[in-house]
Amino acid sequence: MKKIFLLLAYLLLVSNFGVSQSDNWKVLSVQREMFSINFLTQEKAWVFAGDFGYKSTDGGLSWSFPIKTNANIGISGGAYFTYPDHIFFIDSLYGWVCQSSEVLLKTSNGGNNWTSINTGINTSHFSCIQFMNRQSGWAAGIYQSKGIILRTNNGGNNWQIVNQNVRWGITSFQMIDSTKGYLSNNEKDTIGFTNDAWNTIQYFKGGNGQRIQRVLFIDSQNGWLLGNPYYVNRTTNGGLNWSIYTNTMSNTANMYFVNPLTGWISVARNQIWKSTNGGINWANQLNLGFHSEEVFGDIYFKNASTGWICSNKGKIFCSTNGGQNWTDMLISPQGNIRVIKLLNANSGLVICNESIHDTMSSIIWKTTNRGYNWVISSLIRDVKVNSAEFIDEQTGYACGDAGYLLKTTNSGINWSVTLNGTRDLTSIEFVDNYTGYVCGSSGSIIKTTNSGINWISQQSNSNKNLNDVYFSGMQTGFIAADSGYILRTGNGGENWNVDFPYNSKNYKTIYFLNPNTGFVAGASHQVTPPNQGSSRVVLKTTNAGINWTLLMSENIPGYCLFNDIIFLNEQTGWIATSNTNVGYVIKSTNGGLNWFQSFGPIGTSSIFGFSGGLYCLNLINENNIWSAGDNGTILTTGPPIGIQSNNSEITDNFSLSQNYPNPFNPQTKIKFDVPRNVKGQTSNVKLVIYDLLGREVAILVNEQLKPGTYEADWDGSNFSSGVYFYKIITNDFTETKKMVLMK
């Protein structure tokens, strides 16, 4: 009955893992530090976050799922200091990125693909890049403890050194025209100026003794210097004279002025400051965000009213009233996901563990359109949830550290919380509506026969940590435990036998296909030099756990564990894994004898300060598998979110059908056609739900679709009765229809 598994593991990719036959995984959610907003046109924009990007084609009203860029774009200089000039787009197609190396990146198709360009300057660190047109540009940074400036006249294909004796390393750089420019560096209170294209540089003091973080000019006369912390400098005559304005803001991130009077500063720790008199005075507009640890990065306004800001929590916020109010445009789970559960074809939950005000708590996020949008369903403070099990769409149970037990009867909106001792509870399993089991640390096992009203302790005959409980029948159950132990009962837990089938591995996950066939996986963490390795292991039984056969044992460098194991049939199975920085899903198609990489990596480079890992699997069918883990990561191999396709029915025109049933309560279907596309194989399609006031309430589809007939589902359970509109939007076609939700 168990469909979700919640365990820990580490995995390093080794040569004997292949990458063939990989599943078609899609990244639905992944938390990255976002420090760079780039508007290519009024409608097209990117937010870059390391090896992922988010794309908008409607002026920032909506954003795509995370798109793998295969390049580190949007690199920050730390939580409280960014290099705001490291990405530059000259138009809607051509853009460049500088990195913490001699390699630059270039795109000629609006950021969809990137190519590497080696400048030939070894051990350099480029932090600033600017182009005057598609051919002529500049790059600046640090080289051998000094600043360096390079120039190109052929679109970045070749670079020449203009000046490599700039004092200190360059942190911000702006050309006002082809010969005149300003820079800031790591030397406190110092600005560099040139009027001969950096052949010579004049230095002058620009602040009050602090480091100057940002140089910003919006025209040839009006410019600002952003200090970190506490001050802003302003010039209205092209830099001939500067005025210093101090304030109480600290740990500034970036600055943006939309005209000579109106500007904003993003500040670490949840603050946005605004000036309406050119930077003379600043007011703290808003303490924004669900978590006090939010750190804001890049900020951009296209006019005095509409702007965007991004954060280290993987969020993009939009304001349409000059920054007075902000809306989260990219709502997705954050924190470390330890539970993923689909309640029906469209709805699902994930449970994230995250430190809130220095205390570990659990946040329950819910989706009603198979992962496209997520909302916080509930917050359970001071409880770290480790495992959960739902017996139907409404009723679920969970367990956590320090003896916490939880129950919901409304799909996770509300939870009752009780305590059972103080031991950490790691896994929960229900065999019917009334009978459930929980295992935990130091050999603890408890059982309920009245739907969680009362729990009774059972004797495990072990003092080991018990990691995962699974029942293959009403009476027959198994527990994967530390130190090579597997516990087995044939009488509903009245007695537990302890088996020791293979060495002293820490078994973390167990799964049974049927009463006879099961799998267990884990690893040893007893690392002894000089090997500095650990051993992963997968065992299989075909006689209800009486005997176990070793399928795999691998010694690899570093501390590693397996996460969660699940099998579709006796041949096909998956394991969710992780190491310090990345997470993988590996797959077997021959009953566990051999494994290859199905998905990975999902981790981030160390510059972002995140480690990655995949901790749980949820199997719907062979073509619809879900996995989740650290940093809000959610993956699926399923069809496009909320829609099903029939590519055998290809039409010559776009069409949008009337929903059915209509009126409906609470679910309805929307059918539409994507025609043959002479310009390519796919079309960008967006399907949006609006309420009677024209407010967007749901996005069912927003992606590239192949020609065919599609059917999207919408669940109105969380919406009130009334009239709604649904609209299909493509590059060549739009149409709107009305529907009625009647409860």
Over pLDDT 70: what percentage of the chain?
A: 85
Residue with the larger pLDDT of the pair 557 and 615 = 615
Q: Strand, coil or helix: what is 483?
A: helix
Pick from 157-161, 509-513, 703-707: least confident: 703-707
Looking at residue 9, its pLDDT comes to: 26
Which range in 359-363, 415-419, 677-681 is most confidently predicted, on average pLDDT?
415-419
Residue 416 banded pLDDT, cuts 50, 70, 90? very high
Beta strands in 343-485 (DSSP E): 348-356, 359-367, 375-380, 385-390, 396-400, 404-408, 416-419, 425-430, 436-440, 445-448, 456-458, 466-471, 477-481
| Greatest CA separation for the chain | 87
Tell me: cis bond preceding 66? Omega within 30 of 0 counts.
Answer: no
In contact, 75 and 84? CB cutoff 8 Å: no
For the chain, domains (ranges, CATH) are: 48-328 (2.130.10.10), 336-636 (2.130.10.10), 643-741 (2.60.40.1930)
**pLDDT interval class at 619 (50, 70, 90):** confident
Each residue's pLDDT tens digit, 539-573:
999 999 999 998 876 644 445 678 899 999 999 99
Q: What are the E-state strand segments in 435-505?
A: 436-440, 445-448, 456-458, 466-471, 477-481, 486-489, 497-499
Helix, strand or coil, per DSSP, at residue 11: coil
Report phi then psi at 575, rounded to 5.
Answer: -130, 130
Say which amino acid occupies 133: N
Note the Cα 625 to chain centre separation in Å: 18
* Contact assessment for residue 386 and residue 6, using Cβ atoms and an 8 Å cutoff: yes
Joined together, the tokens standing for residue 692 give 């009677």
- H helix intervals, 552-597: none
Provide the pLDDT confidence category of residue 436 given band limits of 50, 70 and 90: very high
How much is the pLDDT for 121? 86
The closest alpha carbon to 228, from 256, 203, 205, 249, belongs to 249
CA 451 to each of CA 340, 434, 455: distance values in angstroms, whole numbers, following the listed order: 22, 4, 9
Cis peptide before 530 (omega within 30 of 0): yes
Residues 200 and 186 sit within 8 Å (Cβ to Cβ): no
Instruction: Please state, rounded to an integer, the average pLDDT across all residues of the chain.
Output: 82
Residue 10 has a pLDDT of: 25
Smallest Cα–Cα separation from 404: which of 389, 376, 377, 426?
426
Residue 15, pLDDT score: 28
Q: What is the pLDDT of residue 3?
A: 34
DSSP per residue over 603-664, as a string?
---GGGT----EEEEEEEETTEEEEEEGGG-EEE-SSSTTEEEETT---SS-EEPPPBSSSB
Highest mean pLDDT among 71-85, 240-254, 433-447: 433-447
Distance CA 519, CA 512 (A): 6
pLDDT at 13 over 90: no
Q: 358 vs 311, 350, 361, 422, CA distance in Å?
A: 20, 22, 9, 20
Helix (H/G/I), strand (E/B), else coil: 449: coil
In the three-class reduction of DSSP (H, G, I as helix; E, B as strand; rest coil), residue 480 is classed as strand
- Please give the Cα distance from 714 to 661 (Å, whole number): 11
**What is the mean pLDDT of the segment spanning 202-217?**
78
Tokens coding 470: 């699974």
- CA-based nearest residue to 300, from 569, 4, 59, 646: 59
pLDDT of residue 527: 41
Instruction: Give the Å distances, CA to CA, from 205 to 147, 620, 687.
Output: 17, 64, 55
Cα distances (Å, whole numbers) of residue 714 to 317, 394, 645, 667, 693: 25, 19, 15, 6, 19
User: What's the whole-number mean pLDDT along residues 42-47?
Assistant: 87
- At residue 314, φ and ψ (nearest 5 deg) are 75, 35
> What pLDDT does 714 receive?
86
CB atoms within 10 A of CB 564: 29
- So what's the pLDDT on residue 293? 59
pLDDT tens by residue, 225-266? 887 766 788 999 888 888 887 666 666 778 899 999 999 988
- Among 117-121, 211-215, 363-367, 443-447, the range with the most confident prediction by mean pLDDT is 443-447
pLDDT range class, residue 648, cuts 50, 70, 90: low
Do residues 615 and 11 make contact, with C-beta atoms less than 8 angstroms apart? Answer: no
